Amino acid sequence: MIILGIDPGVATTGWAIVDFDKDGNPKPIDYGVVSTSKKLSLSERLCEIYKDISELVEKYKPEYGGVETLLFSKNVKTAIAVGEARGVVLLVFEQNNIPIKDVNPMQVKNCISGYGKADKKQVQENVKMICNLEEIPKPDDAADAIAIAITTDMILKQ
């Protein structure tokens, strides 16, 4: 089963295509980030995210999408913009009839590290170990997207 994990953001949206074998072992096929320039308007940045995620869906044909939910931020303006980026990702999945699982940061940390308040470094190290990778996936948002895909798979099996 192929899952596209997404860590939404306006400046940087992490993504990961993870294939799970019949035993449920994750194998990252590809991962990276969609980066948008601060010089662009918000609507132009959202269009870039839409275009790039649409291309990933077309190329890899994921069976499920996992998207991290937002934690309320002290900076409301940032939280709203990230919510808009998340909405664009959800739109791509819906337009392509890809079932979506929402995962919250605590679920991801708990699934990957066994502790809902694990720090970012713990999650990244565990992603490396779980996926038998030689190094931690870079950038951080891509490693987070792999963790989101793994968590999505776990939720689907419940």
Active site residues: 7, 68, 141
Contacts of 125 (CB under 8 A, 6+ apart): 136
**Contact of 52 with 59, CB cutoff 8 Å:** no
Size (the chain), residues: 158
The letter for the amino acid at 45 is R
E strand or H helix at 66: strand 64-68
E strand or H helix at 29: strand 26-35
| Three-state DSSP class for residue 19 | strand
